[in-house]
Amino acid sequence: MADPSVPPNADEIEAAVDQALHGLELEPHETADILGFANEELPHLQTPETSYFVLGSYKKPYIRRLRKVENELNKRLSAYAFVMGDLRQIGLDRLPEFRIRFHLLAAYADYVVGVYEQDAGGEVTELGKISETPYFDRSYVLPRDYRWMTGENFDGKADVVAAAMDIYYSDDLTDDEKEEKLGALAAEAQEYGIDITKENLTDATDERGDDDTVSYSWVHLNEFRLFELHDRCQPWVEESELRDSVDIVPTPGRHPQWEE
């Protein structure tokens, strides 16, 4: 292939690739292929539009929710939301291409938005990346059924339903004990001003099959908690609530804090 023209931001591209590969030396054709990808894909992130790099699982049924978030962001005026899976491959046999593409796109996106429903898959490694410098300050997470581990942190329906799921799928409780605890949970939530009933919790648990439950590792919970403490975490329960969850992500026209 012909050598691509050297972009004016070649030093920045080189720095992003160097970070991805920890200083690994590239072969000439690899440099050319990476610059070709950068020349084709990065200009979309260097326009006056606000760009949103959307992360999450590409597997069914998770991809539907991922697309919902992407679509909601693209409804905003002067916004460009995208997922990495829609962009072309670079074609690097020797190198870990995912790392290179991720770091190049994350380096130029205004915001990174992660949608989480499980503790397995590629989104696990993405969560670890965006929780660290230099991406943390521009990143937001939308975890399904997330709640921190203490009851006084109940802050809405998502927290209560997450607790109900823990009860419903406990192997240590009988059906009668589960019913009793769901009733007590609803009563406790109401004391905190959350409008939810035992029937709401029962319906929510019944609607979920065994393949549609969410369970996070302690590592995930700690990462989500860090974002939560920085006001950049918005849990959700049902797919219909994703639209409101996306509202936590800054709108176009608001200067990204990481650029200030």
Looking at the chain, the number of H-run helices and the number of E-run strands are 10, 4
Q: What does the alpha-carbon distance between residue 123 and residue 118 come to, in Å, rounded to a whole number?
A: 9
| pLDDT at residue 2 in the model | 42
**∠159-161-166 over CA atoms, to 5°?**
100
What is the pLDDT at residue 100? 96
10-146+216-251 architecture in CATH? Answer: 3-Layer(aba) Sandwich (3.40)
Sheet containing strand 79-82, edge to edge, reads: 79-82, 50-55, 111-116, 139-143
- The DSSP 8-state label assigned to residue 251 in this structure reads P
In this predicted structure, the answer to whether residue 162 has a pLDDT above a threshold of 60 is yes
d(CA 145, CA 66): 15
Helix (H) or strand (E) holding 139: strand 139-143
pLDDT tens profile 177-217:
888 988 988 888 888 788 888 888 888 777 765 556 677 77
Q: By the 8 A CB rule, do 196 and 160 touch?
A: yes
5 pLDDT band, cuts 50/70/90, is low
Distance CA 101, CA 93 (A): 14
Q: Please state the rounded mean pLDDT for residues 69-79.
A: 96
Q: Can you give the pLDDT at residue 6?
A: 67
Q: Compute the mean pLDDT over every residue in the chain, rounded to the nearest whole number.
A: 85
Span 148-168, average pLDDT:
70
Instruction: Identify the residue whose tokens are 């009668």.
Output: 176
Q: Are 145 and 237 in contact (CB under 8 A)?
A: yes
Is 51 a residue whose pLDDT tops 50? Answer: yes
Query: Higher-confidence residue: 11 or 149?
Result: 11
Q: Is 200 exposed, middle or buried (0-12, 13-18, 19+ CB in 10 A)?
A: middle
Task: Give the start-to-end residue ranges of the domains of the chain.
Answer: 10-146+216-251, 151-212
- Identify whether the C-beta of residue 100 lies closer than 8 Å to the C-beta of residue 17: yes
pLDDT for 258: 46
Its pTM stands at 0.78
Distance CA 243, CA 236 (A): 10
Q: CA 257 to CA 182: how far, in whole Å?
A: 41
Report residue 13 as tokens: 């591209």
254: nearest Cα among 41, 76, 108, 117: 76
Radius of gyration of the chain (CA): 21
Q: What is the pLDDT of residue 260?
A: 47
Average pLDDT, integer, range 96-115: 95
Instruction: Give the pLDDT score at 1.
Output: 39
Q: Which of 123, 136, 102, 84 is nearest to 220 (CA)?
A: 123
Q: Where do the H-state alpha helices sit in the chain?
A: 10-21, 28-41, 62-74, 97-108, 122-130, 157-168, 175-191, 198-207, 218-229, 242-246
Q: Binning pLDDT at 50, 70 and 90, where does residue 139 land?
A: very high
